Amino acid sequence: MTERVFVFVDEEELFSVMKDLDCLYCRNPVTASKHHLKKRHLRFAVYYKDSGIGKFSIPCYCSDGGHGRSHWHCPMCSKILQRTKDYKIHITNHGVEMTDKSTVELQPTTVLLESQQTDNEDKTLGNKSACQKCGIFFTTTSNLRRHERLQHSQNQQPMLCIDAKNAIYVTPKDLHGPRVPIHIRKSFALQILLCELEECWDFMKAQAQSGNPGKECRHLVRTNHAQHYVPPPPLCVSSLEEMTDKHLLSISEKQECQEMNSRACLEGADCVYPIFWGEHDLPERCVYFSVYTDLKDKWCQFGRTRVSFDTKSGSWKCLCEHKRNRCVHKHLSMWWLFQEHPRLLQNALDINAERVDVVMDEEVKMCPEGDNLC
C-alpha cells in the first residue's frame, strides 16, 4: 500500500504519488484523479516555506478525523488537528513561514486550463465572489468573509502602537470570539522582543534553542503592519471633578486617580489608552483600555494592565491582582469614558442608592466634625 504523505513541494509530486489509485486522503473509496485532488484537496491547501523551500499540505478526510470531517496531519510530529487555523498556528510553531499562496510557479498550460474551468463554473453557477488574495470563488458573501478571516487573517488583525517611547503595542489575542487585547513590546533599537502570553514565551524559547533566536510569535509578527502611534484625548481634571460631584467616585478615589495620572505624565506615557475594535470592523460589545500601573508584575508585565467595559451589562473587569470590585485602573478608565463617551456609560451610571450612601459616608468621615463643606 502506498504510504500517505502530508507535505508536497508541487502538484506534480502529489499527482505522481496517487497515479489514479483510490484516494489515500478520503474516507470512502474514490479514484484519485487530478480533478478530484484539485477540487477536494488542493483547493484548500495550506502553503508555507520550510527552510526557504515552498511546500504545501492538503486536508484529509480519512477515519482518523472522526465522522469523515476534514482535518490536518502535521508532517512534523504526526499530530492531528481539526481546524485550519489551529493547524496553521501549530506548524508555525515548528518554524515554518506561512505564505498566502503557493511559491511554486504553475505551468502556462495549467494556468490556461484552470482559467477556462473557472470561466465555465461561473457560467454554470452564476455570479460568484472571489477572494482577492487567492482567487477562490464563493457562492455567498458570508462564505467569502469567513474564508478571508480564516485563511488570510494574520495581516488583517489590528496592531496599535500605544506607547512609542517604550515600543508597546496592543493586538487581539485570538482570531475569533471577543478580541481580547494583549500587550507586546518590540524594538530592534532596544533589542526587545516580548509578548505577554506564556505560550508565546515557550514558542520563542524553543525556536532559540533550535537555532532561530530571532523567531517571533504570531503576535509580534503583526507589528510589520502596525499603525503609527496616535495619542488619545488626555484626561481632564474638570471631568474628574464632575464625577466626584455626582458621587461616581469618592474623594479618596479621585485623589488616587489624580496621583496615578500625574505619575504617567511624568513618565511620558498615556495613563489611559482606549481600544475601540469597532474602528477596525471587529465586534465591539466590550471596550478595552490599556492602563498605566507604575508597576511591573505578572498581571502588568510592561507597566500596563488591561481593563474591559461591557457596554451592554455595564460591568467592568481588570487584571489587577487585588481582584477588587473597584480599583484605580477601572476608575481611570471610567474617567476617560465619562469624559469622551458618556453615552456608553448609560448602564454603569445607573448607580443604586447603596453605592451612593457608601461614597457619601466615606466623604463625611474624611471631613472634620462640623465642617459644612462635606
- Could you state, in order of their start, the residue ranges of all structural domains in the chain? 11-98, 108-151, 160-225, 237-366
Q: Which residues, including other chains, have CB under 8 Å from residue 2's CB and lie 6 or more apart? A: 17, 18, 21, 24
- Residue recorded with cell 498566502: 100
Query: Beta strand pairing status for 168-172 and 80-81?
Result: unpaired
178, containing H or E segment: none
The pLDDT score that the predictor gives to residue 107 is: 38
Per the CB < 8 A criterion, the answer to whether 294 and 260 are in contact is yes
d(CA 331, CA 233): 17
DSSP code, position 13:
H
Which alpha helices (H) appear in the chain, and where do they start and end?
11-18, 34-36, 84-92, 108-125, 141-151, 198-209, 218-221, 237-245, 251-266, 328-340, 353-366
Question: Chain centroid to CA 349: how far?
Answer: 30
**What is the chain's percent helix, strand, coil content, to nearest 5?**
35, 20, 45
Question: Chain centroid to CA 364: how far?
Answer: 47
Q: What is the pLDDT along the chain (374 residues), one digit of tens a residue?
A: 567 888 888 888 888 877 767 888 888 888 888 888 888 888 889 999 888 888 999 999 888 776 657 899 998 887 888 888 889 989 988 888 888 764 444 433 343 344 444 444 443 345 567 776 666 777 777 677 666 655 555 446 889 999 999 999 999 998 777 889 999 999 988 889 999 999 999 999 888 888 888 788 989 988 888 888 999 999 999 999 999 999 999 999 999 999 999 999 999 999 999 998 877 666 678 899 999 999 999 899 999 999 999 988 889 999 987 666 679 999 999 999 999 999 888 766 654 344 544 554 555 454 454 444 33
